Amino acid sequence: MGIAALVTWLATAVIGFTMLGLWVARGGLRAVGEGGDAKPTSRFPRGLVFGHFLLAAAGLVVWIVYLAAGLGALAWLAFGLLLVVAILGDVLFVRWYKGRGLRTIESGLPKALVYAHGLLAVTTVILVLLTALGVAAR
């Protein structure tokens, strides 16, 4: 189950990195409402976006080390990081969902990517928890 969690985590990361790339390429790094012009802005604070990304990457590294070393504490650390990542992801999702009709940079993110990322993330959280609980062998 630990390897299944790794696979879903990696798939989630690929989709997330794709969305991050789209957001940055379309100007997501501009400050919210900056300049007062009519250009699209972002409702995503940079700290939230990059905090979500960096904590997810850190958790993935911890998970890989857990799989290699087999230390149960690392599984729980990865799970804890994943919970924080999930909360940040939920905030991003709500901002994206509420801003779909607005002219924001993130409103242009493909729905399929957003929903696939969320579905894989939920699957990953469940698999990591089950593995940490020892429900199935790594």
Per residue, the 3-state secondary structure of 57-77, as one string, reads: HHHHHHHHHHHHHCCHHHHHH
Q: Are 132 and 79 in contact (CB under 8 A)?
A: yes
> What are the chain's domains?
2-25+45-132 (1.20.1440)
Q: Which residues contact 26 (CB under 8 A, 6 or more apart)?
A: 40, 105, 108
Q: Which residues contact 119 (CB under 8 A, 6 or more apart)?
A: none
| Ordered per-residue pLDDT tens for the chain, 138 residues | 999 999 999 999 999 999 999 999 999 987 555 555 556 688 899 999 999 999 999 999 999 999 999 999 999 999 999 999 999 999 999 999 999 888 899 999 999 999 999 999 999 999 999 999 999 654
Tell me the longest C-alpha to C-alpha distance in the chain.
56
pTM: 0.90
